[in-house]
Amino acid sequence: MPNTHTPEQIIRAEILALSAYHVPPAAGMIKLDAMENPYPLPSALRDEIAQLALHAPVNRYPDASAASLKETLRQTLGISDNLDILLGNGSDEIIQIIAMAIAKPGAVLMSVEPAFVMFRMIATFANIPYVGVPLKNDFTLDLDAMLAAIAKHQPAVIFLAYPNNPTGNLFNRAAILSIIQATPGIIVIDEAYQAFAEDSFIDQLGHYPNLLLMRTLSKSGLAGLRLGLLIGRPEWLKQLEKVRLPYNIGIMTQLIAEKVLHHTPVLSEQAQAIKSERAKMSAFLGTMRGITVYPSNANFILFRVNAASQIFQALKQHNILIKNLDGTHPLLENCLRETVGTPDENSQFCATLRTILSETV
Ligand SMILES: *Cc1c(COP(=O)(O)O)cnc(C)c1O
Phi then psi dihedrals of residue 15, to 5 deg: -75, -40
Centre of ligand 1 from the C-alpha of residue 178, in Å = 24
Among 22-36, 84-98, 281-295, the range scoring the smallest mean pLDDT is: 22-36
pLDDT confidence band for 361 (50 / 70 / 90): low
Condensed to tens digits (0 to 9), the pLDDT of residues 182-241 reads 999 999 999 999 999 989 999 999 999 999 999 999 999 999 999 999 999 999 999 999
Look at residue 317 and tell me whether its pLDDT is greater than 80. yes
Q: Which atom of ligand 1 is nearest to the CA of 95?
A: 10
> Helix, strand or coil for residue 292?
strand
Q: Are 97 and 241 in contact (CB under 8 A)?
A: no
Task: Answer whether 92 contacts ligand 1 (Cβ < 6 A).
Answer: yes
Q: Is the peptide bond before 265 cis (omega within 30 degrees of 0)?
A: no
Residue 133: partners with Cβ closer than 8 Å, 6 or more residues away:
110, 111, 112, 113, 142, 145, 146, 149
Which of 91, 159, 162, 215 is the best mutation target for the ligand 1 pocket, counting ligand atoms within 8 Å of the beta carbon and taking the most?
91
Query: Mean pLDDT score of the chain, rounded to an integer?
Result: 96
pLDDT confidence band for 244 (50 / 70 / 90): very high
Q: Are 301 and 340 in contact (CB under 8 A)?
A: yes
Mean pLDDT of 31-39: 97
Task: Answer whether 89 contacts ligand 1 (Cβ < 6 A).
Answer: no
Which of 216, 217, 323, 340 is the best mutation target for the ligand 1 pocket, counting ligand atoms within 8 Å of the beta carbon and taking the most?
216
Q: What is the pLDDT of residue 90?
A: 98
Please provide the distance, in angstroms rounded to a whole number, between the alpha carbons at the two ends of the chain: 65
Look at residue 21 and tell me whether its pLDDT is greater than 80. no
Condensed to tens digits (0 to 9), the pLDDT of residues 82-138 reads 999 999 999 999 999 999 999 999 999 999 999 999 999 999 999 999 999 999 999
Q: What percent of the chain has pLDDT over 70?
A: 100
Q: Are 163 and 190 in contact (CB under 8 A)?
A: no
Centre of ligand 1 from the C-alpha of residue 125, in Å = 17
Distance between CA atoms of 184 and 149, rounded to whole angstroms? 12
Among 25-29, 127-131, 269-273, 326-330, the range scoring the smallest mean pLDDT is: 25-29
Q: What is the pLDDT of residue 177?
A: 98
Centre of ligand 1 from the C-alpha of residue 60, in Å = 29
Q: What does the radius of gyration of the chain's CA atoms come to, in whole angstroms?
A: 21
> Helix, strand or coil for residue 359?
helix
Q: Are 141 and 189 in contact (CB under 8 A)?
A: no
Task: Answer whether 168 contacts ligand 1 (Cβ < 6 A).
Answer: no
Distance between CA atoms of 211 and 161, rounded to whole angstroms? 13
pLDDT confidence band for 24 (50 / 70 / 90): confident
Look at residue 18 and tell me whether its pLDDT is greater than 60. yes
Q: Rounded to two decimals, what is the model's pTM?
A: 0.96
Condensed to tens digits (0 to 9), the pLDDT of residues 155-189 reads 999 999 999 999 999 999 999 999 999 999 999 99
Q: Are 144 and 135 in contact (CB under 8 A)?
A: no
What's 202's DSSP letter?
Answer: G
Residue 267: partners with Cβ closer than 8 Å, 6 or more residues away:
37, 195, 220, 221, 260
> Helix, strand or coil for residue 71?
helix
Q: Which atom of ligand 1 is nearest to the CA of 93?
A: 8
Q: What is the pLDDT of residue 25?
A: 86
Condensed to tens digits (0 to 9), the pLDDT of residues 59-72 reads 999 999 999 999 99
Q: What is the pLDDT of residue 3?
A: 85
